[in-house]
Amino acid sequence: MISRERKSNIEIISFTESKLNAFTSDEIREQVSQCFSEPNAYVIISLKGVEYIDSTGFGSLLFILRSAKSNYGKLKICSVEPHVMNLFESLHLNTVFEIYNDIDECIRSFS
């Protein structure tokens, strides 16, 4: 469901599924939220290859963001597919999340 990689002190999460929906969101929310069990965690979610996010998927991303903030962590998103970016923009979630074009740009933003 998710793939985890670590670059210095940043956890990078990517998905093996192309959809974040009601069937996948509970497991994703649970697995990614664990990254914030320690205070001050830095996490990037790469949405590369994710072609669709429904309301429960966006709800999971918002839950993860709240988990990050409640434990003084930082969550950033990168590599959003164009169609999915349109969804972020139409829901005005592009103003809620820090979104970057690619992983390298996102990693540099933590400096």
Per-residue pLDDT of 64-94, as tens digits, reads 999 999 999 999 999 999 999 999 999 999 9
Contacts of 83 (CB under 8 A, 6+ apart): 51, 52
Q: Kindly indicate the confidence band of residue 1, based on its pLDDT and cuts at 50, 70 and 90.
A: confident
Mean local confidence (pLDDT), 12-30: 93
Could you tell me which of 86, 79, 87 has the C-alpha nearest to residue 106?
79
Left (φ > 0), alpha (ψ -120 to 50) or beta: where does 8 sit? left
Backbone angles phi, psi at 77, to 5 degrees: -120, 145
pLDDT for position 24 = 92
Structural domains of the chain, count: 1
* H helices present in the chain, as ranges: 25-33, 55-70, 82-90, 103-108
CA dist 49 and 13 (Å) reads: 12
pLDDT, tens only, 25-72: 999 999 999 999 989 999 999 999 999 999 999 999 999 999 999 999
pLDDT for position 81 = 97
Show the domain range for 60: 2-108
Instruction: Judge whether 110 and 12 are in contact, CB under 8 Å.
Output: no
* Pairing label, strands 2-7, 10-15: antiparallel
- Supply the CATH number for residue 96's domain: 3.30.750.24
